[in-house]
Structure formats: structure tokens, C-alpha cells
């Protein structure tokens, strides 16, 4: 289960939360005015990624969603 937050002006997705994982807060990348402000901590759904999209080697990666904590 997930909850999404939307921009009240344009309706774009801005963030996502998960009631079962209260410490996880996902920001939609396109919603960032200054992408250098946030540092990714993990990558999810990497099984659906493209070969040309190279992720930082230091990121913890999950083929699907990470297990509940």
C-alpha cells in the first residue's frame, strides 16, 4: 500500500509514502527544483530499469520493493 502526494496546482505527483514503512519518503525526481539538495539512499524496482541507466555503485539496490523493516 502506498500514498501519493500531488501538487494542488498542476496535479503532478510530488512524493510517495508507505504506511508499513514510516521511515521511507520518496520524492518524485521531476519535482525537485534543486536536485543537488537530496542524496539518493537506495534504488527500488531496478529489475525494470534500462541497461543505459547506470546507478551509483554505492546505492543499495532492490529488484522490487525492499522488505518491510
Per-residue pLDDT tens digits for 39-58: 788 888 888 888 898 888 88
Helix (H) or strand (E) holding 5: strand 3-6
User: What is the mean pLDDT of the segment spanning 53-66?
Assistant: 85
pLDDT band with cut points at 50, 70 and 90 for residue 69: low
Q: What is the pLDDT of residue 32?
A: 63
Task: Write down the pTM of the prediction.
Answer: 0.48
Q: How far is CA 14 from CA 6, 8, 9, 44, 61, in A?
A: 5, 10, 12, 17, 22
The DSSP-derived string for 13-60 is EEEEEETTEEEEEEE-GGG-S-GGG----EE--GGG--TT-PPPTTSE
Please check the confidence at residue 3 and state whether its pLDDT lies above 80.
yes
Domain-wise residue ranges, the chain? 1-33, 39-69
Amino acid at each position: 500500500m502506498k500514498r501519493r502526494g500531488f501538487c494542488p496546482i498542476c496535479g503532478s505527483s510530488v512524493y510517495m509514502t508507505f504506511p508499513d514503512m514510516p521511515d521511507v519518503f520518496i520524492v518524485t525526481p521531476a519535482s525537485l527544483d534543486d536536485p543537488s539538495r537530496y542524496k539518493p539512499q537506495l534504488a527500488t524496482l531496478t529489475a525494470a530499469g534500462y541497461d543505459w541507466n547506470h546507478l551509483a555503485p554505492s546505492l543499495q539496490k532492490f529488484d522490487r520493493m525492499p522488505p518491510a523493516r
